[in-house]
């Protein structure tokens, strides 16, 4: 799992740099299907399976190579899809349109719901086939077919998608490197007093620019990359735009938010691991049906499947009326709620473990029900609903347009760090407690949880989660959301290149006649003759200009009624 989430960075980088997010999703989807197909073949063919001797030496070299190669393809394919697909879906919405901005927030909720429903099928039906019926190849085969159908449907929808083709010049790595290099080269230069003196390109100068990001006062050292050089030519490696500098600032501001959610994902990894172990020591009967221990994750998935629609249809509209925010609450507020709930879940997990272990010590033949785990798992499912969607939407909305795939991959990166860190935590805690305890055994030793102190480990994670939440509060309050510059690229309808003369309003003599005085654009094939204009002094009355006359050399057209002046400079611009 950790490797899969880590490899999402590859898919995000490729789709932001070389090929579109759609193409990236299809390519990595094919790799994922290929990996599943190879695993299915190995699970079906007895000749490719290791001998049953219980020793690692029984595994033949070629069999091991095929197995690990299949897992590698599966991790690479799934990770690449995770890096590109969420951003592809987000691209179908225009965040500048209020209606589509609401739909964007809804999209990430439905993305979580669809993923949750698929996982429900996996941890119930497929787990039942593989564990109870001992038909592993059927489980892999069903997964292969379902994945192939899913990517086929995705490919068939291409004519209806909004697709963004990346430009090599917009590569995230290149743009970030340019800012850092130029800022270092300009480190001895003094920053200007006003940010307006920093280098920026307007949309009229560069039509391909998709957004212009407003300047912020954080990380002022990076602003030196936007100082215009005096003695050298302006190139990509001598000066950067303010927008390019702000892109690096945004990614830098995101890092504390990213690392503040790693602890929660560490708790998730521990819960998924030890809850299955706890389930093996509990009563797993549901009527006449024996629930497989590997199906325990169905508990949070069911909670999430129920709560996502409730959150979307009831909570968001209610909160939106109060906060006026398209998502009901901000993305960072949503993440904060999830962090609090994860700490509560760990505390409850410790209490449930005490009850389970005490009952096992009293009468090991009468264990407590498996569904006691629903308390900790259910609350953590709600926490995951808040945090995962909040992070996806946060990293997508805040990222520069050309870095959205890579940015949304940060969500999966936190999960990857959490899974890897969980192993480190267990080893460190065991090593420390082994030295300090009188029994000279760690809190978690061996496979017998009845002689371990898993409850203490859960409470340690709860305390750590509370401290992590305080750390998150600091960085969330420090974070400044991205703001775009208003579009000033279109000139006004009337643009006097010379000194503007005040024009007084005069009554419209045609109102009673009901004449149509809509302004018509001036189309001049030839330069009209310049005649003298008869006008009053602008300081004493309105400027009256005869048709065909000039004002400081500019050709004008005047209609009957109030003065309507149009110059040579503005005749190509549409009038309102």
CA dihedral 65, 66, 68, 74 (to 10 degrees): 150
The residues with which 554 forms a beta bridge, in sequence order, are 551
CA–CA separation, 371 and 66 (whole Å): 39
- H/E stretch holding 286 reads strand 285-286
Output the CA torsion sign for 313, 314, 320, 325.
Answer: negative
CA–CA separation, 261 and 329 (whole Å): 18
| Per-residue confidence (pLDDT) for residue 565, from 0 to 100 | 39
pLDDT tens for each residue of the chain, 576 residues long = 888 999 999 999 999 888 999 999 999 999 999 999 999 998 888 777 766 665 655 555 677 788 889 999 999 999 999 999 999 999 998 877 888 877 888 899 999 999 999 999 988 888 888 877 677 888 899 999 999 999 999 999 999 998 888 876 677 888 899 999 999 998 888 888 888 888 887 655 554 456 788 888 888 899 998 988 777 677 778 888 898 999 999 999 999 999 999 999 999 998 888 888 888 888 888 777 888 877 888 888 888 899 899 998 999 889 988 988 888 899 999 999 999 999 999 999 999 999 999 998 888 888 898 889 889 988 998 999 999 999 999 999 998 888 889 899 999 999 999 999 998 988 898 889 888 877 677 788 777 788 888 899 999 999 999 999 999 999 999 998 877 655 444 433 333 333 343 444 444 444 444 444 343 443 444 444 444 444 344 444 444 344 444 434 444 444 444 444 344 444 444 443
Among candidate residues 402, 397, 254, 251, the one with its CA nearest the CA of residue 331 = 397
Counted residue by residue, the chain has a size of 576
CA dihedral 38, 44, 50, 51 (to 10 degrees): -170
CA–CA separation, 140 and 38 (whole Å): 9
Rg, Å, the chain Cα set: 32
The residues with which 213 forms a beta bridge, in sequence order, are 484
Which residues of the chain does CATH 1.20.1250.20 include?
Answer: 2-166+248-478
CA–CA separation, 327 and 316 (whole Å): 6
The C-alpha angle 267, 87, 465, rounded to 5 degrees, equals: 15
CB 182 within 8 A of CB 238: yes
Q: How is 204-248 classified by DSSP, letter by letter? A: TT-TT----BPP-SSSGGGGGGGSPPSSS---TTT---HHHHHHH
The domain 2-166+248-478 is classified under which CATH number: 3.40.640.10, 3.40.50.620, 1.20.1250.20, 1.10.3720.10?
1.20.1250.20
User: How much is the pTM?
Assistant: 0.77
Strands, E, within 139-210: which ranges? none
DSSP state of 506: -
From the centroid of its chain, how far is CA 329?
Answer: 16
Q: Please state the φ and ψ torsions of residue 221, each to the nearest 5 degrees.
A: -60, -35
Among candidate residues 160, 94, 166, the one with its CA nearest the CA of residue 397 = 94
Half-sphere exposure of 63 (CA within 13 A, CB side): 14
User: Cβ-count burial of 500 within 10 angstroms (0-12 exposed, 13-18 middle, 19+ buried)?
Assistant: exposed
| Per-residue confidence (pLDDT) for residue 288, from 0 to 100 | 79
CA–CA separation, 152 and 138 (whole Å): 21
From the centroid of its chain, how far is CA 442?
Answer: 39
Q: Which residues contact 80 (CB under 8 A, 6 or more apart)?
A: 7, 8, 10, 11, 14, 24, 25, 27, 28, 31, 32
Tell me how crowded residue 509 is: count the other CB atoms within 10 A of its CB: 11
CA–CA separation, 557 and 112 (whole Å): 60
CA–CA separation, 275 and 295 (whole Å): 10
Q: Which residues contact 467 (CB under 8 A, 6 or more apart)?
A: none
């Amino acid at each position: 799992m950790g490797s899969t989430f880590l490899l999402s960075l590859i898919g995000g980088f490729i789709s932001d740099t070389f090929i579109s997010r759609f193409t990236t999703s299809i390519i990595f989807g094919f790799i994922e299907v290929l990996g599943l197909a190879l695993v299915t073949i190995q699970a079906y063919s007895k000749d490719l399976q290791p001998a049953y001797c219980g020793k690692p030496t029984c595994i033949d070299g070629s069999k091991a190579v095929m197995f690990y190669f299949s897992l590698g393809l599966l991790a690479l394919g799934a990770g690449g899809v995770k890096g590109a697909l969420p951003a592809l879906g987000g691209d179908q919405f225009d965040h500048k349109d209020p209606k589509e901005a609401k739909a964007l927030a809804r999209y990430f909720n439905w993305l979580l719901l669809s993923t949750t429903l698929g996982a429900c099928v996996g941890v119930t039906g497929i787990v039942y086939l593989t564990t109870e019926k001992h038909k592993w190849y059927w489980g892999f085969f069903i997964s292969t077919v379902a994945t192939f159908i899913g990517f086929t449907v995705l490919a068939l929808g291409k004519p209806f998608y909004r697709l963004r083709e990346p430009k090599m010049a917009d590569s995230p790595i290149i743009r970030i490197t340019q800012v850092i290099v130029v800022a270092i080269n300009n480190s001895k230069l003094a920053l200007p007093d006003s940010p307006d003196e920093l280098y920026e390109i307007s949309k009229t100068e560069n039509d391909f620019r998709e957004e212009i990001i407003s300047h912020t006062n954080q990380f002022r050292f990076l602003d030196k990359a936007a100082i215009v050089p005096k003695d050298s030519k302006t190139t990509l490696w001598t000066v950067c735009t303010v927008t390019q500098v702000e892109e690096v600032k945004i990614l830098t501001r995101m890092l504390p938010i990213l690392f503040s959610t790693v602890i929660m994902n560490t708790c998730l990894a521990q819960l998924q691991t030890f809850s299955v172990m706890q389930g093996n020591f509990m009563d797993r009967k549901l009527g006449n049906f024996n629930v497989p221990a590997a199906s325990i994750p169905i508990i949070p998935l069911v909670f999430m499947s129920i709560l996502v629609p409730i959150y979307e249809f009831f909570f968001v509209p209610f909160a939106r009326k109060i906060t006026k925010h398209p998502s009901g609450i901000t993305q960072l507020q949503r993440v904060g709620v999830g962090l609090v709930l994860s700490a509560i879940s760990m505390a409850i997990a410790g209490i449930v473990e005490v009850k389970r272990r005490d009952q096992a010590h009293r009468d090991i033949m009468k264990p407590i029900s498996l569904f006691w785990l629903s308390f900790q798992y259910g609350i953590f499912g709600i926490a995951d609903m808040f945090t995962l969607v909040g992070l996806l939407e946060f990293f997508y909305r805040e990222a520069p347009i050309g870095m959205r795939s890579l940015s949304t991959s940060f969500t999966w990166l936190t999960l990857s760090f959490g899974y890897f860190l969980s192993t480190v935590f267990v080893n460190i805690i065991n090593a420390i407690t082994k030295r300090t305890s009188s029994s000279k055994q760690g809190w978690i030793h061996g496979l017998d949880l009845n002689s371990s102190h898993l409850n203490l480990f859960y409470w340690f994670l709860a305390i750590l989660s509370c401290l992590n939440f305080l750390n998150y509060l600091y960085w969330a309050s420090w974070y400044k959301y991205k703001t775009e510059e208003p579009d000033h690229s279109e000139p006004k309808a009337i643009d006097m290149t010379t000194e503007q003369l005040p024009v007084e309003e005069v009554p419209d003599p045609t109102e009673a006649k009901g004449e149509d005085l809509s302004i018509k654009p001036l189309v001049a094939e030839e330069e009209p003759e310049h005649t003298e204009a008869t006008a009053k002094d602008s300081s004493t009355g309105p400027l009256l200009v005869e048709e065909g006359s000039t004002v400081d050399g500019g050709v004008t057209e005047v209609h009957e009624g109030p003065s309507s002046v149009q110059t040579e400079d503005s005749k190509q611009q549409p009038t309102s």
